[in-house]
Amino acid sequence: MNKWEYAESIESSSIVNIEKKYGIFIDGKFQNANSKKFIKTISPSTEEVLSSVSLGNEIDINSAVESAKEGLKIWSKLSGTERAKYLFKLARLIQERSREFAVLETLDGGKPIKESRDFDLPQVAANFFYFAGWADKLDLSWNAKGLKPYGIVGQIIPWNFPLLMLSWKVAPALATGNVVILKPAESTPLTAILFAELCQEVGLPPGVFNLVTGDGSTGAALVKHPDISKIAFTGSTGVGKYIQKETADRDIGLTLELGGKAANIVFNDAAIDQAVEGVVNGIFFNQGHVCCAGSRLVLQEDIHDEFVTKLEKRMQSLRVGNPLDKNTDIGAINSKDQLDKITSLVNEGVEEGGTIFQTDCELPQNGFWFKPTLFTNAQPSYRISREEIFGPVLTTLTFRTPEEAIEISNNTEYGLSAGIWTEKGSKILWTADRLQAGVIWANTFNKFDPSSPFGGYKESGFGREGGRHGLLSYLKVQS
Amino acid sequence: MNEIKKTYKNYVGGKYVRSESGKTFRIELKNEFYEVPLTSRKDIRDAVVAAKKGHTAWQKLSPYNKTQVLYRLSEMLEGNFETYQQLLQDAGLTKAKAKEDIHKAVDSIIWYAGMADKWEQMTGNLNPVAGDFFNISHQESLGVVFTLNSNTQSLNSLLLNMLPALTVGCSVISFNEENSVLALKLAEDINNSDLPGGALNILSGKFELLIEDISNHVEITAMAIYKEIHNDQKTMIKENASKSLKRIFINPPTMGLEALFPFIETKTVWHPKGR
Amino acid sequence: MSLTKEAQNVLNWSDTVELIDNLRVDEVGLKERVASLATRSIKKDSKLQALNYIISMCDLTTLEGEDTEGKIGQMTAKAIRPDPSNDEVPSVAAVCVYPALVSKAKKMTQNSNVKVASVSSYFPSGQAPLESKILDTQFAIDEGADEIDIVINRKAFFEGDYRKMYDEIVALKEVCKSVHLKTILEVGELRTYENIKKASLISLAAGSDFIKTSTGKISNGSSREACYLMAKAVWDYKTVTGFKAGIKVAGGIRDSKDAIRYLVIVNEELGSEWLNPDYFRFGASSLVDDVLKQIKKLKTNAYQSSYYFPRG
């Protein structure tokens, strides 16, 4: 019997034009950093070097701040309508160059082209369109007096959705009248650099958007700079706590969007086939490199076997491979470091007594890869049930009563998101009321919209991004 | 020498149509004549049929899509800047005023474009009812809205008479009199935009000939009168409206959140919360 | 769950009731999954393979009041040899006709592997007593039909009389005996996904060899969502009884691109075991021409016109 194998369908990367070296972007142009150090950025699916970008130092951060001060002088004099127009134009350009951005994102970060093309880029454009439309009507956003922009905002973003995280940060900040210094993740600077080029193309006043690439030290310098009025950070809980501590001695605005260990609760009256899809999407989307990933399957015991059988079958159809292949579902792990972390936690999971299932797939020779993994017979005390793995690994825990489902789901220091699968409406609302999570998806998962506020409870962070509420992250209440 | 510069048609259901009566009337701008349709009651009837279909199609688009459609309209208007500038100057505006008017018009569209995907966040809310219930109030568009536009020769004013109802998802029958040339010219940009056919219909004519038919038409859900009309006309409209509870708005605001209030209907949904 | 003695794949009524109890399908989630499967990019060899699969899975269909023996002659010739200029193109799986044309179709296909399928059971509406449907079906079989395509009793379904719907299919299966039975759900009328899943499972439990989406006679024909849903029903039925049923999609599948999307659903939801005419069919007429064009294009790298391919 003939199997029907899909031939390769590779998205050409000839559309992107990557320079060998990049400096920093301040005063509205690319220029050499003060720092003479560079870091290489590689393609995690091939380990090929794509480019070298500056490793910005404290002096570079200072130059960025000075540039931002100039930018703020201009930006604060413009009307909301004028700010709106810049943002609308950026949205338009992003749409027009979507394919180019998507390919670049896939090359630099390892996510499948199908995702960067169909999810990341449309969301990026949508974010700019949405926030552009707030710029000229901030007076209607909240019935609160005295909301004003912070001024100079420092933003640090992660490597899992580089351009999308940029849009979540930059669009609302600029719309509300702030100016930005952005520090992209060490391993994924390229789409931020291309975005800076767009800022030049729309004629954004110099200093309004500033980009300083680098590593953790660059971020630390940004956080420490006294002339920054607000820090917005998305990344690990560990670094988030560090930032909160570092900024303790100042009166500074702070929003943190950190890690998660979300529970995806499946009740026995769920639409099972769709719940399977939701669970799969919840943990395997973007290789599980998602802060709000549904990494704990909290499953009602009486449907355990039926559900797990369907889940394993569905996992088996996930295609792992070359991210530029349009048929790839699961791309590369973002870095060697991350791969090591995942591997170590998974090995512990086996040692602790979990039953492991991994799909039968061929992994490429070069690059960083991990097979979609499912743990059953796991206990809430195992490390794989408690720690954020940030990879394509799902841990299954069972419950018997709705109260128990709540208890298990809330039994974590995290509180970013949760999923509820049941066809009973009242149960959805009852459960949502009791879950300690900032984003709750009922009968769906990983849904995002610029108008929908996103953010966590507890150690998943504070502050919201997106929507009317997200504006409050960038508008200070004048006392 | 007075010659007929151009004959315009009405814009209904995404198409250019003459009045079924065949009649036109003349508008003079800077010593040049334009022939525009003298809309009849049958034309109104046809426009309502088109507007109903247009409402279904327009309402279906996501708020994000609506934003994009309206923003694109602003881009198109900017692209035809000189054409509008000339028309406004022909209508008597100075060059400077004409330019200012078009800039304002573009800014207005941009304001409303960015409103289409936000207004619900301003008008809807959760209601803190007593009891184990989830209760939410959200808004929907009214339906087919008839607007009688002000006669000001101004592109901005014209758009501000169309945009509020359109932005919240209503379909609009925009009726114009002395400013019809400008309005029917705008129809060309509307036609080239991604607005579904029937969402915005642009007619020219004399309102007093049709006031009875329009105010009696049950399928026109609301009328917004942006032009100054006589008190007895207002009374007649409101009396006829009472037969089907048509919503009537005399001189509603054209900017701000309050501009949207006339065109929305609030729906409140309850759902228990329990295991 | 036990299987009745008469036929391997029939489930008794009380087990059937259990099977259709508490069906739950989320429409939005389902549509998303189907849309995601539609993003598969099928190129080069895998495309050619798919195109050949499609031809071999087609039931070339004519179900018109104006059908004559002459028309059947043309269609059967095309069914046997879809592209005279290319011997690599396989025959289609079957021709599908009204009972009155079965014997002609049988005569024309006797020296080939092309099967003759006949509609029956008062196709397309099914609005007649069971006795008429049995007569209809028996006639087609006596005329030589290899396969029978019946319609479910939607009147009974919408009146909530699932037992009646089930009994009718059981009775018609008894008439068919070893003749292959396809049961048409008419998904365009069933509309909701829960209805489609329920009708699928009842039809399977009553002994159908295949479940089929549509009659092709109403404007809402097949949809990929329906196909996905039916695939889920087929899989669940196999899990419970061990019986492997087939799926036929018909009504509105006009081009190769769409047909390939259906194959992707079958491939990823059921597996390559279903990718053959014994378990998957397309009810089509103009689809074959588009597929032939695409096959030729892959070989010659030029877009084709339909006048290169014979009328059928």
pLDDT tens-digit series, residues C110-123 = 999 999 999 999 99
- Does any domain span residue A3? no
Residue C285's pLDDT is 87
Q: Spell out which chain C residues touch chain A, with contact meaning CB-CB distance below 8 angstroms.
A: 22, 24-26, 28-30, 32-33, 39-47, 49-50, 53, 232, 239, 263, 267-268, 272-273, 275-276
The answer to whether A437 and A262 are in contact (CB under 8 A) is: yes
Chain B positions touching A88 (Cβ under 8 A) are 71, 110, 113
CATH of B41-272, one of 3.50.50.60, 3.40.50.800, 3.40.50.720, 3.40.605.10: 3.40.605.10
The answer to whether A199 and A94 are in contact (CB under 8 A) is: no
Residue C309's pLDDT is 77
Is residue C306 over pLDDT 80?
no
For residues A155 and A474, what is the distance between their CA atoms, to the nearest angstrom? 11
Q: Identify whether residues A269 and A254 lie together within a single domain.
A: no
Domain boundaries, chain B: 41-272
Any contact of A with B, at least 3 CB pairs below 8 A? yes
Helix-helix angle A98-109:A190-201, to 10 degrees? 160
Whether C43 and A9 lie within 8 Å, measured CB to CB: yes
Please count the residues of chain C: 312
- Helix, strand, or coil (residue B218): coil
Strand ranges for chain B from DSSP E: 4-7, 10-12, 15-17, 24-29, 32-37, 125-126, 133-141, 144-148, 171-176, 200-204, 222-225, 247-250, 264-272
Q: Identify whether residues A311 and A432 lie together within a single domain.
A: yes
Is residue B163 over pLDDT 60?
yes
Total tally of structural domains belonging to chain A: 2
Q: Band of the pLDDT at B2, cuts 50, 70, 90?
A: low
Is residue C263 over pLDDT 80?
yes
From C212, C232, C293, C296, the catalytic residue: C212
Residue A2's pLDDT is 66
Q: Which of B257, B271, B274 lies nearest to residue A140, judging by beta carbons?
A: B257
C1 vs A40, higher pLDDT: A40
The answer to whether B111 and A136 are in contact (CB under 8 A) is: yes
Residue A465's pLDDT is 98
Q: Identify whether residues A277 and A246 lie together within a single domain.
A: no
For all residues of chain C together, what is the average pLDDT?
A: 94
Interface membership of B56 toward A (CB under 8 Å): no
Our CA-based measurement puts residue B79 at a distance from the nearest CA of chain A, in whole angstroms, of: 15
- Relative to beta strand B200-204, strand B171-176 is parallel
Is residue C302 over pLDDT 90?
no
* Angle at A432 (CA atoms; ends A428, A433), nearest 5 degrees: 120
Residue C307's pLDDT is 74
The answer to whether A368 and A44 are in contact (CB under 8 A) is: yes
Structure tokens at C172: 């018609």
CATH number at residue A92: 3.40.605.10
Q: Identify whether residues A274 and A403 lie together within a single domain.
A: yes
- Does any domain span residue A214? yes
DSSP, res A391 = S
Q: Identify whether residues A470 and A402 lie together within a single domain.
A: no
Q: What is the enclosing helix (H) or strand (E) of C93?
A: none
Residue B21's pLDDT is 96
Strand ranges for C45-160 from DSSP E: 58-61, 94-97, 115-119, 147-151
Q: Which residue in the block uniquely carries the two structure tokens 């010219």?
A: B185
Is residue B153 over pLDDT 90?
yes
- Helix, strand, or coil (residue A146): coil
pLDDT tens-digit series, residues C128-143 = 999 999 999 999 999 9
From C149, C209, C289, C290, the catalytic residue: C149
* Pick from B115, B168, B117: nearest CA to B139: B168
Q: Identify whether residues A91 and A168 lie together within a single domain.
A: yes
The answer to whether B88 and B105 are in contact (CB under 8 A) is: no
For all residues of chain B together, what is the average pLDDT?
A: 96
Q: Rounded to an integer, what is the distance from CA A130 to the centroid of its chain?
A: 18
The answer to whether C182 and C151 are in contact (CB under 8 A) is: no
Interface membership of A327 toward C (CB under 8 Å): yes
Is residue B180 over pLDDT 80?
yes
Our CA-based measurement puts residue A4 at a distance from the nearest CA of chain C, in whole angstroms, of: 7
A291 is catalytic: yes
For residues C200 and C166, what is the distance between their CA atoms, to the nearest angstrom? 11
Question: CB A411: neighbour CB atoms within 10 A?
Answer: 16
Q: Identify whether residues A202 and A319 lie together within a single domain.
A: no
Residue C217 burial (10 A CB sphere; 0-12, 13-18, 19+): middle
Amino acid at A260: G
pLDDT tens-digit series, residues B206-228 = 999 999 999 999 999 999 999 99
Q: What is the enclosing helix (H) or strand (E) of A361?
A: none
pLDDT tens-digit series, residues A18-40 = 999 999 999 999 999 999 999 99
DSSP, res A28 = T
DSSP string, A287-342: GG--TT---EEEEEGGGHHHHHHHHHHHHHT--BS-TTBTT-SB---S-HHHHHHH
Residue C36's pLDDT is 97
* Pick from C33, C59, C54: nearest CA to C42: C54
Q: Identify whether residues A288 and A355 lie together within a single domain.
A: yes
Residue B32's pLDDT is 84
Q: How far apart are the first and last CA of chain C?
A: 46
The answer to whether A298 and A262 are in contact (CB under 8 A) is: no
DSSP string, C121-138: SSTTT--S-HHHHHHHHH
Domain boundaries, chain C: 13-300
- Helix, strand, or coil (residue A105): helix
The answer to whether C109 and C130 are in contact (CB under 8 A) is: no
CA R_g for chain B: 19
Q: Identify whether residues A147 and A285 lie together within a single domain.
A: no
What sign does the dihedral A271-A274-A277-A279 (CA atoms) show?
negative
Is residue C4 over pLDDT 60?
no
Strand ranges for chain C from DSSP E: 58-61, 94-97, 115-119, 147-151, 180-184, 210-212, 246-250, 280-284
Q: Identify whether residues A417 and A470 lie together within a single domain.
A: no
Chain C residue with minimum CA distance to A444: C29
The DSSP bridge partners found for residue A183 are A156
Whether A1 and C272 lie within 8 Å, measured CB to CB: yes
Is residue C5 over pLDDT 50?
no
Residue C6's pLDDT is 42
The answer to whether A428 and A441 are in contact (CB under 8 A) is: no
Structure tokens at C227: 């196909």
Interface membership of A136 toward B (CB under 8 Å): yes
Scan residues 242-271 of A and list those with Cβ closer than 8 Å to C: 269-271
With a cut of 50, list the residues of chain A below it in pLDDT.
none
Whether B110 and A136 lie within 8 Å, measured CB to CB: yes
Whether C40 and A274 lie within 8 Å, measured CB to CB: no
- Helix, strand, or coil (residue A234): strand
Is residue C303 over pLDDT 80?
no
Q: Identify whether residues A428 and A287 lie together within a single domain.
A: yes
Is residue C301 over pLDDT 80?
no
pLDDT tens-digit series, residues A163-200 = 999 999 999 999 999 999 999 999 999 999 999 999 99
The answer to whether A423 and C26 are in contact (CB under 8 A) is: yes
Question: Residue A429: how many CA atoms within 13 Å on its side-chain side?
Answer: 12
Chain C positions touching A315 (Cβ under 8 A) are none
The answer to whether C208 and C245 are in contact (CB under 8 A) is: yes
Residue C52 burial (10 A CB sphere; 0-12, 13-18, 19+): middle
Peptide bond into C277 cis (omega under 30): no
Q: Which of A81, A134, A425 lies nearest to residue B118, judging by beta carbons?
A: A134
For residues B73 and C193, what is the distance between their CA atoms, to the nearest angstrom? 39
Whether A427 and B275 lie within 8 Å, measured CB to CB: yes
DSSP string, A427-477: HHHHHHHH---SEEEES--S---TTS-B--SGGGEES-BSHHHHHTTTEEE
Chain C residue with minimum CA distance to A2: C272
Amino acid at A127: N
pLDDT tens-digit series, residues C24-65 = 999 999 999 999 999 999 999 999 999 999 999 999 999 999
What ipTM was estimated for this complex? 0.94
Q: Identify whether residues A268 and A324 lie together within a single domain.
A: yes
Q: Rounded mean pLDDT of C156-171? A: 98
Structure tokens at C291: 């597929």
In order of A276, A308, C52, C137, C143, the CA distances from A398 in angstroms are 15, 11, 46, 51, 58
Residue A477's pLDDT is 86
The answer to whether B98 and B193 are in contact (CB under 8 A) is: no
CATH number at residue A307: 3.40.309.10
Residue C60's pLDDT is 96
Chain A residue with minimum CA distance to C228: A273
Residue numbers of the domain that contains A431: 263-442
Q: Which residue in the block uniquely carries the two structure tokens 């709540």?
A: A406
For residues B137 and B153, what is the distance between their CA atoms, to the nearest angstrom? 39
Q: Band of the pLDDT at C8, cuts 50, 70, 90?
A: low
Strand ranges for C51-100 from DSSP E: 58-61, 94-97
- Regarding the domain delimited by C13-300, which CATH topology (the fold level of the hierarchy) does it fall under? TIM Barrel (3.20.20)
- Helix, strand, or coil (residue C281): strand
For residues A395 and B228, what is the distance between their CA atoms, to the nearest angstrom? 69
Beta-carbon contacts of A230 under 8 Å, excluding residues fewer than 6 positions away, are A150, A151, A152, A153, A154, A178, A252, A253, A254, A255, A474, A476
Chain C positions touching A423 (Cβ under 8 A) are 24, 26
DSSP string, A34-64: S---EEEEEETTTTEEEEEEE---HHHHHHH
Is residue C66 over pLDDT 50?
yes
Whether A130 and B67 lie within 8 Å, measured CB to CB: yes
